[in-house]
């Protein structure tokens, strides 16, 4: 029996060494180690052997099995190595070449600028809030001192989500002012970047879907000086230089007094295309929060006395900033979803 084992071993090792590919190795494995292979045959014959031979025969068969498996694995690795060497030597294979870079997307230009804005306000202690895009008329208009029959609604026609117009696509991020007052305890500072919607005639500067950043600060003794200081700081950070700002009277139902804040054009000294040759850029609407708005927002709050509080608010368009930053001349590109446009703003 031991002789039989030895001849099996020699034959098998020769076959392994002679195999030239993985399929050949699998055939050898099957022939010697398969269910009906040589080793199985020996194991099956053991019960018929004289007792004193059985042990050595069993051990010998098992050792052969292990040895063969190792030999097959080693030969397989060697064949693979040969294959790689062959491909390499055939030319066209440069192991020092970096792998093809995976395709990467990039952040939308609006996201890039929004994050920058958030970073600046966060550094000034502002929280970043969010609110629903499908909003109740109450939050979008009424609580902001814009009753149902108010003429300023004319300029903010939107998309209505139900028959009686109680649910609207929000026309501004200002409704989050009210939602913040309902939940937060003064003093607080927050901004709300977000998407807004209007029934607009579309052109290079008007879209039905665009982006605003709302700001609100509520506390004791908040004054107009805090408002101008804050917005000037923000603009200086954003444009990387000291810029003048100015206030003009402006009407928004939810602030009193209300202003339009202009900033000195960061791109020129004596007038350019961006500032329409005026050297000033209209930046945002702002003002001191109207007492009606404070009353509506804090209504029912026992821990807050809206009469003892003041605040300022502002709201600016994010799309405008993005267009200025990247020199984009048509707002419709921003939400157009055209990759040829978006790929121009990698980050
Ligand atoms: N929500 C206003 C708009 O869409 C912008 C605005 C003006 C926001 C004055 C304010 C503000 O918070 O105080 O035109």
DSSP 252-317: -TTEEEEEEEEEE-TT-SS--TTTTTSSEEEEEEEEEEPHHHHHHHTTT-TT--GGG-EEEEEEEE
pLDDT beyond 80 at 75: yes
pLDDT beyond 90 at 281: yes
CA distance 223 to 221: 6
Report CA(342)–ligand 1 centroid distance (Å): 29
CB of 140 within 6 A of ligand 1: the answer is no
Q: How confident is the model at residue 93 (pLDDT cuts 50, 70, 90)?
A: confident
**Beta pairing partners, 256:** none
CB of 197 within 6 A of ligand 1: the answer is no
Report CA(172)–ligand 1 centroid distance (Å): 7
Length in residues, the chain = 347
pLDDT in tens, 115-139: 999 999 999 999 999 999 999 999 9
Q: How confident is the model at residue 298 (pLDDT cuts 50, 70, 90)?
A: very high
**Beta pairing partners, 167:** 136
How is the beta sheet containing 310-317 ordered, strand by strand? 127-128, 188-197, 209-219, 310-317, 280-289, 255-264, 245-249
Report CA(240)–ligand 1 centroid distance (Å): 25
Nearest CA to ligand 1 atom 2: 315
Q: How confident is the model at residue 94 (pLDDT cuts 50, 70, 90)?
A: confident
Q: How confident is the model at residue 287 (pLDDT cuts 50, 70, 90)?
A: very high
Report CA(217)–ligand 1 centroid distance (Å): 14
Report CA(21)–ligand 1 centroid distance (Å): 75
When pLDDT is averaged across residues 230-239 and rounded to a whole number, the result is 97
CA distance 146 to 123: 33
CB of 285 within 6 A of ligand 1: the answer is yes
When pLDDT is averaged across residues 238-242 and rounded to a whole number, the result is 95
CB of 286 within 6 A of ligand 1: the answer is yes
- The predicted pLDDT at position 106 comes to 92
pLDDT in tens, 40-52: 888 888 898 888 8
Tokens of 249: 């009277």
- The predicted pLDDT at position 271 comes to 93
């Amino acid at each position: 029996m031991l002789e039989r084992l030895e001849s099996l071993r020699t034959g098998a090792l020769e076959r392994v060494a002679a195999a030239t590919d993985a399929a050949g190795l699998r055939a050898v494995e099957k022939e010697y180690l398969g269910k009906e292979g040589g080793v199985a045959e020996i194991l099956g014959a053991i019960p018929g052997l004289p007792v004193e031979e059985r042990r050595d025969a069993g051990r010998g068969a098992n050792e052969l099995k292990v040895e063969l498996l190792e030999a097959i694995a080693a030969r397989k690795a060697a064949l693979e190595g040969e294959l790689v060497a062959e491909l390499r030597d055939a030319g066209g294979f440069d192991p020092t070449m970096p792998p093809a870079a995976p395709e990467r997307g990039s952040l939308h230009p609006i996201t890039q600028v929004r994050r920058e804005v958030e970073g600046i306000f966060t550094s000034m202690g502002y929280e970043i809030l969010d609110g629903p895009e499908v909003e109740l008329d109450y939050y979008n208009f009424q609580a902001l001192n814009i009753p149902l029959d108010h003429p300023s609604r004319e300029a903010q026609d939107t998309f209505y989500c139900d028959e009686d117009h109680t649910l609207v696509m929000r026309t501004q991020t200002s409704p989050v002012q009210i939602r913040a007052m309902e939940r937060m305890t003064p003093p607080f500072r927050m901004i709300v970047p977000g998407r807004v919607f209007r029934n607009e005639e579309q052109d290079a500067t008007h879209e039905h879907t665009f982006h605003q950043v709302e700001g609100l600060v509520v506390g004791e003794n908040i004054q107009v000086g805090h408002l101008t200081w804050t917005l000037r700081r923000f603009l200086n950070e954003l444009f990387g230089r000291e810029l003048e700002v100015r206030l003009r009277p402006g009407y928004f139902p939810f602030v009193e007094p209300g202003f339009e804040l202009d900033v000195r054009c960061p791109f020129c000294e004596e007038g350019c295309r961006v500032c329409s040759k005026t050297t000033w850029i209209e930046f945002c609407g702002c003002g001191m929060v109207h007492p009606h708005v404070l009353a509506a927002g804090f209504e029912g709050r026992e821990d807050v006395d809206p009469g003892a509080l003041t605040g300022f608010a502002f709201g600016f368009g994010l799309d405008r900033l993005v267009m200025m930053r990247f020199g984009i001349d048509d707002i419709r590109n921003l939400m157009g979803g055209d990759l040829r446009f978006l790929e121009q703003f990698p980050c």
